[in-house]
Amino acid sequence: MAGGYASLRRVVREMTPQAVTALIKDSNLKGRGGAGFPTGMKWSFVPMGDDATHPKYLIANADEMEPGTFKDRLLLEGDPHQLIEGMIVGAYAIQADVTYIFLRWAYRLAAERLQRAIAEAYANNYLGRNICGSDFSLEMYLHVSAGRYMCGEETGLLNALEGKRATPRAKPPFPAVSGLWGKPTVVNNVETLCNVPHIVNHGAEWFKSLSHTGEGGTKIYGVSGKVKRPGAWELPLGTTVRELLEEHAGGVRDGLKFRGVIPGGASTEFLLEQHLDVKMDFESVQKAGSRLGTGTMIVMDDKTCPVGLVLNLERFFAQESCGWCTPCREGLPWTAKVLQAIENGDGQPIDMQRLALHTKLLGPGHTFCALAPGAMEPLQSALNYFRDDFERHIRERRCPWK
Amino acid sequence: MLSEEIKREIEAEMHHYPRKQGVCIEALKIVQRHRAWVSDESLRELAEFLEMTPAELDSVATFYNKIFRRPVGRNVIFICDSVSCWIMGYDRVREGVTKLLGIRLGETSADGRFTLLPNVCLGACDHAPVLMINDDTHLDVEPAKMESLLEEYK
């Protein structure tokens, strides 16, 4: 494998941990798991120096479970060593002692390949004691989850890894200071970590120059739904919705019309035809009223019922709520029931107000973690953009798509 | 009694975690691999081995989708019911399978051959609709071809 682990050899021989973190900060790499938090800044929160608490941990979040998201699977199956290299470099930057890959159970092929790649990395002294002859030592383990959406939430993941229910933890303290078993911990998404070796090899300026906008790098975008060529592509960050939809995915299938898109996994707000020229980067999508999220979009065509689609999403969130806090545990099933009633033709005009009220009661600031606020994002935008379709269900006492 | 083999497999994973309890999800999966599901008896045996209370271990076992606390058939079908698959024809796939097997979601066929379970997004949305049978992922599932697909699983 040409150039494999070059970045690792370089950092352990030539760079201080602080210099690695500074480099990632300079590159402007933002988390690719959905929240878009600056990676270098996250690393810089970890206590460093001789009196820092050990062991410290770095975790690759490979629990890809956001509906409509299938990008990390490609990286895990296609090049497990790229991830492992990025993890070791990240672990060096924060001086971690142990790293875990937290993998969802459904990715069986990825599990096999990762297990083999970890063994190869140990055999070549990229893991274990005194890596590449340096003072740096690191262990890496694969944890295959038993399945639950909550495991993707940073602190839920920590509890799951400790062998507990994946309920979220209160912040602060933040995981960088008190995470796994109370020790300093960084959790990064797979795609985020896969960028790290390339930034070390080619520099921060090179990385920044890859994107169409001020936000650095590339993004693995995906398109699913009734388009001609569903798929995933690595493209400059800031590629427009239109280019993804029309050029790469080939547009919606013949005989169908485009109605909208959920741009970044189930917990993002709809974008419409008027947003097609929005650049898919963190800032631009936010300005358009949604979020980049995971960058894998779900296309809604005119033969797909918006109420049915949102019902599907809210049933998912209701099922996957961990039950830890009341607004989420009680509010999401209630939301799903109201939507089911509307879809069945049993809706009442007041249900529109009930749904709108829930988008407030379950919104940011009312819940322990981001699951319920995320669940409200597609709903509130659907109430806004597809209000006529909801009202028609209620008025005609049926689903017009059935 | 947990067999020596099960204990050995659990102990091989234990050093990945600084505390014994950390291995419990892995341990539940190991027990399930040997016994197909986690019965009350299995749960008690495992709890004792891990120095946990059965209630503590059960709170974990019942939280995770992939730990079965009820018996399952020889093969388990997981149909993805999340949004991309729903758009691409999940309903037809589900109707096809339920009709073929004569069971509904959550049920096991009378001959013990199949258990049918809904599953959240399987992360292969560009090939929706998707389902898994045991450890195998099946992409672009067509209801018409379901019968021959199931033939492979005895």
Chain segment B110-139, per-residue pLDDT in tens: 999 999 999 999 999 999 999 999 999 999
Question: Would the CB atoms of B87 and A304 count as touching at under 8 Å?
Answer: yes
Chain segment A346-371, per-residue pLDDT in tens: 999 999 999 999 999 999 999 999 99
In this structure, CATH architecture of domain B4-61: Orthogonal Bundle (1.10)
Within B18-122, strands assigned E span 75-80, 114-119
Strand order in the sheet with B131-133: B114-119, B75-80, B131-133, B136-138
Q: Which residue among B59, B132, B135 places its CB closest to the CB of A165?
A: B59
Question: Would the CB atoms of B88 and A148 count as touching at under 8 Å?
Answer: no
Single out the residue of A232, A293, A299 nearest to residue A261, CA to CA.
Answer: A299
Q: What's chain A's average pLDDT?
A: 97
- Measured CA to CA, the distance from residue A274 to residue A257 in angstroms comes to 14
10 Å CB burial of residue A396 (0-12, 13-18, 19+) is exposed
Residues of chain B with CATH 3.40.30.10: 75-151
- How many residues can be counted in chain B? 154
**A24, containing H or E segment:** helix A17-27
Residue A253 DSSP class: P
Preceding peptide of B129 cis, ω within 30°: yes
CB atoms within 10 A of CB B78: 23
Residue with tokens 């995933």: A232
Instruction: Give the type of residue at A357.
Output: L
Q: Which residue among A105, A149, A163 places its CB closest to the CB of B22?
A: A163
Coil, helix or strand at residue A72? helix
Instruction: Give the type of residue at A83.
Output: L
Chain segment A305-326, per-residue pLDDT in tens: 999 999 999 999 999 999 999 9
Q: What is the mean pLDDT of residues A71-97?
A: 98
Beta-strand pair A57-62/A98-103: parallel
Chain segment B87-96, per-residue pLDDT in tens: 999 999 999 9
Chain segment B66-86, per-residue pLDDT in tens: 999 999 999 999 999 999 999
Phi, psi of A282 (to 5 degrees): -60, -50
Q: What's chain B's average pLDDT?
A: 96
Residue A1 has pLDDT above 50, yes or no: no
pLDDT class for A167, splitting at 50, 70, 90? very high
- Give the per-residue pLDDT at B135: 95
Chain segment A90-135, per-residue pLDDT in tens: 999 999 999 999 999 999 999 999 999 999 999 999 999 999 999 9
Q: ipTM value, please give it.
A: 0.96
Instruction: Write out the two tokens for A245.
Output: 């939809």
Structural domains of chain A, ranges and CATH numbers in brackets? 6-209 (3.40.50.11540), 218-301 (3.10.20.600), 306-396 (1.20.1440.230)
- Give the per-residue pLDDT at A214: 87
Does the CB of B130 have a partner CB in chain A at under 8 Å? no
Question: Would the CB atoms of B66 and A146 count as touching at under 8 Å?
Answer: yes
Instruction: Please give the model's pTM, rounded to 2 decimal places.
Output: 0.97
Coil, helix or strand at residue A240? strand
- Measured CA to CA, the distance from residue A118 to residue A126 in angstroms comes to 9
Does the CB of B55 have a partner CB in chain A at under 8 Å? no
Does the CB of B22 have a partner CB in chain A at under 8 Å? yes
10 Å CB burial of residue A172 (0-12, 13-18, 19+) is exposed
- Measured CA to CA, the distance from residue A193 to residue A199 in angstroms comes to 10
CATH of region B75-151, choose from 3.40.50.300, 3.20.20.105, 3.40.30.10, 3.20.10.10? 3.40.30.10
Phi, psi of A351 (to 5 degrees): -60, -30
Question: Would the CB atoms of A163 and B21 count as touching at under 8 Å?
Answer: yes
Instruction: Give the type of residue at A2.
Output: A
Does the CB of B154 have a partner CB in chain A at under 8 Å? no
Instruction: Give the type of residue at A329.
Output: R
Provide the percentage of residues in chain A whose pLDDT is more than 70. 100
Chain segment A324-343, per-residue pLDDT in tens: 999 999 999 999 999 999 99
Does the CB of B111 have a partner CB in chain A at under 8 Å? no
* Dihedral over alpha carbons A385, A330, A158, A294 (to 10 degrees): -10
- Measured CA to CA, the distance from residue A376 to residue A372 in angstroms comes to 6
Do A266 and A313 contact (CB within 8 A), yes or no? yes
Residues of chain B with CATH 1.10.10: 4-61
Residue with tokens 């309920």: A167
Question: Would the CB atoms of A309 and B84 count as touching at under 8 Å?
Answer: no
Single out the residue of A102, A227, A264 nearest to residue A175, CA to CA.
Answer: A102
Residues of A in contact with B22 (CB under 8 A): 161-163
Residue A222 has pLDDT above 80, yes or no: yes
Question: What number of H helices and E strands is found in chain B?
Answer: 7, 4
Q: What is the mean pLDDT of residues A218-235?
A: 98
Residue B20 has pLDDT above 70, yes or no: yes
